[in-house]
Amino acid sequence: MTRALHPELVKRIVITEKGVSRIEAMGASKLISNVRNGGGMKTPLDRQQKDVAILDRFENAAIVKIIASDWIDYLQLARFNNRWVIVNVLWEMKPKKP
């Protein structure tokens, strides 16, 4: 995860409660910490989903969509020092199934 993220990455989600929206954010260090602590590892195999689609790419910029079991990420990537890194993420939780 550390190699995949630019150190200044910000991952954001819009949370709307009672008709009022706010943005919650986490930086690269928090995302790396979550992964190191096993985040995402407890999803049962039958629920795991890891679909990746490159939506657009031009020169040193790309937009990628990730569909996971419980959320969807829209990634902004940049070629930085000759390697692709994730710079920003906007994400949404999937609706809970009854």
In contact, 86 and 11? CB cutoff 8 Å: no
**pLDDT score of 25:** 97
Q: Which residues of 48-75 are buried (b: 16+ CB within 10 A; e: fewer)?
A: eeeeeeeeeeeeeebebebebeeeebeb
For the entire predicted model, the pTM comes to 0.87
- 66 vs 10, 12, 50, 91, CA distance in Å? 16, 15, 7, 9
**pLDDT score of 75:** 98
Locate the domains of the chain by residue range.
5-93
d(CA 1, CA 16) in angstroms, rounded, equals 29
The pLDDT tens digits for 37-86 are: 877 677 777 787 889 999 999 999 999 999 998 899 999 999 999 999 99
Please give the CATH number for the structural domain made up of 5-93.
Answer: 3.10.450.50
Q: Mean pLDDT, to the nearest integer, of 19-39?
A: 91
For 93, the enclosing helix (H) or strand (E) is: strand 83-93
What is the pLDDT confidence band of residue 20, given thresholds at 50, 70 and 90? very high
Per-residue pLDDT at 35 exceeds 90 = no
